Structure 1
Amino acid sequence: MVKGYELTEGEYVIVEPDELEQISPGRSKTIDISAFVDLDQVDPIFFDRTYYLGPRSPEYAKIYALLATSLERTNRAGLAMFAMRGKEYLTAVRADGGLLELHTMHFADEVRDPRREIDSLPGEDVKLTAKELDTAQQLIGMLEVDWDPDAYRDTYAEQVRKLVEDKAAGREIAVSEGPPAEATNVVDLMDVLRRSLEGARGGKGEAEPAAAGGRKQSRRATSRTPKAATGTKSTSAKTAKAAPTAKKRITAKEDLDRLTKAELYERATDLDIPHRSTMNRDELQSAVQKAGRKRLRAAS
């Protein structure tokens, strides 16, 4: 068996197996680090596969720990050329939690320039308004979660395993096809962002009824059944008297503890709390509580 390498269309160079064997890098038995690089300078797109490294024997444990600790404290990675399976790799050795990891990397000529490959990328002529940016950042803030890799699964692989198990057991296979996805033409960016925010808040695309002062009522406020009106007091008078109670609910810690991050973010938006898009849930709760207290003091 021979291999052919295409020079131009229809023109090949034939290479014999023994010729490839003569220039094969073989297999590395050690990793010879030639330089160290700041990890912040390495674009993650260059990383390919990850391998765990361990000391060859117990007597190398101290040297292993010394290198791992030093790399982690300095945020550096060791660069080395490493050969395995008849191929030479550029590798980076970094440390994480006292463990050394080896990452095989792409060479520079293997990474495409997106500016050359994608003609439709936005340029300097694309202008974003402050309102668009604020709305987009609100959406990001409301959907922010702590990273938990166990929360994500390969559902396709699970379905394949189930299919194999069902067929092996002789069970009848019923395949249901869902409705085809409809093509959409995104024109109004603000409309898309607004609908995304409504969905993140648990809405169904319809505006919630406005409370006194022109602001939306929270889901907690609208879920309560109002008391029946007594005497001759008008509805507007009852609404005006209910406002201080609503403000007290804003500052009540026991109530805020029960709110989700999305609900806290909505209240932070109503209170016009700055930098809310960068806050986690606990920070949002603290900011809402402080802002509510300030508003109560100003009203008293």
Structure 2
Amino acid sequence: MAAGSVWKGTLSFGLVSLPVRLVNAHQRHGPQFHQFVRDTNARVRYRKVNEETGEEVRTADIVKGAPIDDEDEYVVLESEELEEIAPGRSKAMEVERFVPAGAVEARYFDGAYYLVPDSKAAAKPYTLLCSVLERQERLALSTLVLRDRQHLVLIGPQSGVLTLSTLWWPDEIRDPAEIVPSFPDVSVADRDLDLAGQLVDAMAEPWRPEEYTDGYQERLEELIQAKASGRRMHHPSRPAPRENKVVELTDALRASLKDDRKGDRPAKGTKGKKTAGKSSEPRSKAGSKAGSKAGAGAGAKRTRSGRTKSSAADLESMTKRELMGEASKAGIPGRSTMTRDQLQDALAGSRRFAGAS
């Protein structure tokens, strides 16, 4: 099995079959932590021990037990008994049906993988399946035995390749009626619907995943590098959380619209690729604009490469989200916890804006 593959076999639809490999679509970023005894280099290890004697137990002496009616009673299951009913390591995955794209609710999705053709001969049927699913806006439904467990899977095209998502079985989905507490029936006024619609329009933007970064991960990496080089990190103080005052719904919607137009809405993650040099679009149907941006008028300077360099006035006119994007480009540490004013001050003093008037 090729490196990185978690499964290898044949995918078939009708009488068409092709060899494929399954590769993880995700890779968790960040350092892997280990545990040590304080003030020593001794690693902390975990052992399997007998809870009654405290003695370590060999793997060969461990069996599995499943609780029955009373949780204090268990039935012991031997490895041989489990192997007899296991689904086996199937090397075949057959499409059972095609369903409309978007028909499966988000709560059913679990893991994500890429399906990769495993031979040159598989390239044509692979491309055919990817193209026809994209044209007809459908997804392939199948089952797959992965890691000794049977999974319901959904296969579809994405970015020119086939992706496979494992799904939760229907009886594994929790009924929201059992979890969400009941609340009284309420009616929503048209006035509030209109205001909420304006707020949604004001905050509506295309999905650009590259604009989001893990702010905590950035700070963690900065901390590790600082400690490794004997430095101390000094992050700006976190802004005080907003008070959770009970506000009338209509007033809250109006205040949210006003806040968004000023650009002071809290950013979720590090976001923003809007650069100085492009004039802003209307931010809501109410007609408010976020302010004139640099590059289209006076105040913008050109570098030797022809790119626009922002002035202090340009920074003043930017929204918090745009400042966050510029701070990300400038590599300013601790930016994800900064207020709008702190972002503006940090950008004004950075090399990116050095020399701008």
Aligned mate of 2:108, from 46, 49, 52: 46
Q: How does 1:100-179 map to 2 (within 5 A)?
A: 100-120=162-182, 125-172=185-232, 178=238
Per-residue CA deviations over 1:98-146 (Å, capped at 9, x if unaligned) read 421111001112211222211145x6x3111111000110111111111
Distance (whole Å) between structure 2 residues aligned to residue 171 and residue 15 of structure 1: 55
**RMSD of aligned Cα (Å):** 2.8
What CA distance in whole angstroms lies between the structure 2 residues aligned with 1:159 and 1:4? Answer: 43
* Structure 1 counterpart of 2:282: 261
Shift of 1:55: 1.5
Structure with a larger share of its residues in strand = 2
Q: State how far apart, in whole Å, the 2-side matches of 1:137 and 1:12 are.
A: 55
Amino acid at match of 1:33: V
Question: Partner letter of residue 265 of structure 1?
Answer: K
Candidates 13, 20, 24, aligned match of 2:86: 24
Q: Is contact 2:156-2:163 (8 Å) kept?
A: yes
2:154 maps to 92
Residue 175 and residue 266 in structure 1: after superposition, are their counterparts in 2 closer, same or farther (change >3 A)? Answer: closer
* 3-state SS, counterpart of residue 267 of structure 1: coil
Kindly state the Cα deviation for residue 183 of structure 1 after the two structures are TM-superposed.
5.2
Matched with 1:184 is 244
Which residue identity lines up with residue 78 of structure 1 in the other structure? A
Match of 2:130 in 1: 68
Q: Which residue of the partner structure matches residue 5 of structure 1?
A: 66
Conserved in 2, the CA contact under 8 Å of 1:52 and 1:100? yes
CA–CA separation in structure 2 for the residues paired with 1:44 and 1:113: 14
State the shift of 1:9 in Å. 2.5
Aligned counterparts of 1:129 and 1:19: Cα–Cα separation in 2: 61
Task: In structure 1, give the amino acid aligned to 2:281.
Answer: T
Structure 2: how far apart are the matches of 1:120 and 1:178?
Answer: 36
Closer/same/farther in 2, CA of residues 159 and 15 from structure 1, 3 Å limit = farther
Between the aligned partners of 1:104 and 1:201, the Cα distance in structure 2 is 41
1:169 CA displacement: 2.7
- Give the TM-score taking structure 1 as reference length: 0.64
1:176/1:18 Cα in 2 relative to 1: closer, same or farther (>3 Å)? farther
| Contact kept? 2:111, 2:165, Cα under 8 Å | yes
Distance 1:142 1:24 in 2: 53
How far residue 179 of structure 1 moved from its aligned partner, in angstroms, is: 6.4
1:62–1:179 Cα change, 3 Å: closer
Given that 2:143 and 2:152 are in contact with CA atoms closer than 8 Å, whether structure 1 keeps it comes out as yes
Q: Does 1:196 align with 2:256?
A: yes
TM superposition shift of 1:34: 1.7
Q: Distance in 2 between matches of 1:174 and 1:131?
A: 47
- Rg larger in structure: 1
Distance 1:164-1:21 versus aligned 2 partners, 3 A rule:
farther
Where structure 1 has 5 or more consecutive residues not aligned to the other structure, the ranges are: 205-256, 270-300
| Between 178-187 and 30-39, the greater mean CA deviation after superposition | 178-187
**Percent of aligned pairs with the same residue?**
36
Q: Distance in 1 between matches of 2:233 and 2:214?
A: 21
Larger relative helix fraction = 1
What TM-score results when the alignment is normalised by the length of structure 2?
Answer: 0.54
Give the secondary-structure state (helix, strand or coil) at the position aligned to 1:196: helix
Counterpart Cα distance in 2 of 1:149 and 1:87: 32
Q: Shift of residue 43 of structure 1?
A: 1.1
- Write the distance in 2 (CA, Å) between the matches of 1:176 and 1:6: 51
**Separation (CA, whole Å) in 2 of partners of 1:108 and 1:55:** 30
What secondary structure does 2:216 align onto? helix
Runs (5+) with no aligned partner, structure 2: 1-61, 265-277, 290-357
Q: 3-state SS of the aligned residue for 2:163?
A: strand
